[in-house]
């Protein structure tokens, strides 16, 4: 299977904002946009995106998972980056139209169709370092995918990093700049300690990794940082916490310090996991901090992570009732 996110369908849906209005969305070849080299996005990073998935059920029908949450988050990101306002109904329809068009290309489980709505500021005006782009492009790309973490559900190694992933007030924005600013620490962690990911913990505050949220599971309790502006409000995080509540687990959304994490994570029965659209729910086996390695759960793999992942997948793949109304049939 090709690397995650490297295969695209031949077409995408595209809408253009100019003169204070959106154009009628159109189906266009993926390589059909051209940008002026002075475009706002290329200089001042006026870009945000979303990641959601469509799943094929055993009867062949195609279902998109929690589309409205992702549409709302792209609207929020666009607002926080001073990009033109995104019309929710228009974006929803663009997603439905492109997924319907490529329904035949949605892989069977465990694969899925990754959907990447993207919004970029296009105004050619390099003087606008402190002013928003008045024009933009909104497009929806599709990429058939398998597992994001090669090696499937192999427990990950995380390096705890004392610095922040991005500017503290921008973490909740799914913007390109946040990903670029996290790259150096991630590359260093790979080279130095063969970490799979970095867990950003500025001032001892356990936040998230470069591409997923972080959850600590301790017996019947699931602990994760309460929502604030400093990190991405994951749709998968919300889904997993909902499924945990459904099965009577105690869900604690609160501050989690590095000290508490390292103390509790090593105890027998403890588990740690990353949640995300691409990551689904992937177990964490090792935490690395100040040159020491901490084996999560004392090195014994727990079962709660796997069972919550299965519960989520069962809904996505139509094997369990969609009691929360998370799926939209295409």
| Binding piece for ligand PLP, criterion CB under 6 A, among 11-19, 208-216, 249-257, 316-324 | 208-216
Residue 171, interface with ligand COI (CB under 6 A)?
A: no
Closer to ligand PLP by CB, 13 or 240: give it. Answer: 240
Residue 145, interface with ligand PLP (CB under 6 A)?
A: no
Structure-block tokens of residue 19: 């003169």
| Binding piece for ligand COI, criterion CB under 6 A, among 102-110, 195-203, 243-251, 274-282 | 274-282
**Of 217, 235, 312, 327, which lies in the binding site for ligand PLP, with binding defined by CB under 6 A?**
235
| Number of residues that this document lists for the chain | 330
With beta carbons less than 8 A apart as the criterion, state whether 81 and 48 touch: yes
Strand, helix or coil at 233? coil
Quote the CA–CA distance of 42 and 62 in Å, as a whole number. Answer: 35
| Binding piece for ligand COI, criterion CB under 6 A, among 266-274, 275-283, 288-296, 303-311 | 275-283
Phi, psi torsion values for 60, nearest 5 degrees: 90, -15
Residue 277, interface with ligand COI (CB under 6 A)?
A: yes
CB of 60 to ligand PLP, least distance (A): 26
**Of 278, 284, 296, 311, which lies in the binding site for ligand COI, with binding defined by CB under 6 A?**
278
Residue 155, interface with ligand PLP (CB under 6 A)?
A: no
**Of 25, 276, 285, 297, which lies in the binding site for ligand COI, with binding defined by CB under 6 A?**
276
With beta carbons less than 8 A apart as the criterion, state whether 215 and 237 touch: yes
Q: How many residues bind ligand COI (CB under 6 A)?
A: 5
Closer to ligand PLP by CB, 121 or 276: give it. Answer: 276
Residue 51, interface with ligand COI (CB under 6 A)?
A: yes
Beta strands in the chain (DSSP E): 11-18, 21-22, 26-29, 47-49, 52-56, 62-65, 112-121, 136-145, 156-161, 197-200, 208-209, 213-218, 221-224, 250-253, 270-276, 280-289, 292-295, 327-329
Residue 213 touches which of ligand PLP, ligand COI, none (Cβ within 5-8 Å per kind) = ligand PLP
Residues 6+ apart with CB under 8 A from 124: 36, 37, 38, 39, 40
Residue 185 touches which of ligand PLP, ligand COI, none (Cβ within 5-8 Å per kind) = none
Residue 74, interface with ligand COI (CB under 6 A)?
A: no
Quote the CA–CA distance of 201 and 208 in Å, as a whole number. Answer: 8
**Of 51, 121, 283, 285, which lies in the binding site for ligand PLP, with binding defined by CB under 6 A?**
51
Give the residue among 217, 268, 272, 270 at the shortest CA–CA distance from 244.
217
| Binding piece for ligand PLP, criterion CB under 6 A, among 256-264, 274-282, 288-296, 303-311 | 274-282
Phi, psi torsion values for 293, nearest 5 degrees: -105, 135
Closer to ligand COI by CB, 224 or 277: give it. Answer: 277
Which residues here bind ligand COI, judged by CB under 6 A?
Answer: 51, 211, 276-278
């Amino acid at each position: 299977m090709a690397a995650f996110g490297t295969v695209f369908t031949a077409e995408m849906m595209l809408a253009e904002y100019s003169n204070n209005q959106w154009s009628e969305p159109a189906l266009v070849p993926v390589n059909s946009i051209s940008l002026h080299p002075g475009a706002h996005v290329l200089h001042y990073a006026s870009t945000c995106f979303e990641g959601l998935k469509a799943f094929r059920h055993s009867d062949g029908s195609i279902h998109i998972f929690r589309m409205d949450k992702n549409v709302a988050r792209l609207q929020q990101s666009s607002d926080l980056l001073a990009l033109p306002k995104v019309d929710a109904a228009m974006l929803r329809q663009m997603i439905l139209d492109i997924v319907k068009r490529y329904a035949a290309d949605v892989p069977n489980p465990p694969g899925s169709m990754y959907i990447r709505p993207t919004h970029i500021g296009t105004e050619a005006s390099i003087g606008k370092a402190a002013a928003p782009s008045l024009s933009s492009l909104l497009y929806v790309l599709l990429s058939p995918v398998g597992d994001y973490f090669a090696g499937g559900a192999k427990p990950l190694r995380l390096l705890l990093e004392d610095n922040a992933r991005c500017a503290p007030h921008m973490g909740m924005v799914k913007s390109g700049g946040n990903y670029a600013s996290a790259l150096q620490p991630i590359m260093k962690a790979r080279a130095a300690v063969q970490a799979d990911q970095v867990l950003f913990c500025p001032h001892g505050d356990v936040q998230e990794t470069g591409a997923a949220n972080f959850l600590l599971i301790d017996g019947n309790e699931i602990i994760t940082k309460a929502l604030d502006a400093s990190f991405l409000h994951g749709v998968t995080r919300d889904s997993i916490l909902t499924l945990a509540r459904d099965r009577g687990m105690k869900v604690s959304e609160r501050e989690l310090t590095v000290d508490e994490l390292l103390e509790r994570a090593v105890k027998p029965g403890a588990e740690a996991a990353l949640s995300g659209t691409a990551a689904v729910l992937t177990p964490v086996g090792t935490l690395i901090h100040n040159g020491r390695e901490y084996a999560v759960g004392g090195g014994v793999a727990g079962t709660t992570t796997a069972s919550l992942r299965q519960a989520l997948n069962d809904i996505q793949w139509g094997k369990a009732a969609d009691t929360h109304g998370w799926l939209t049939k295409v």
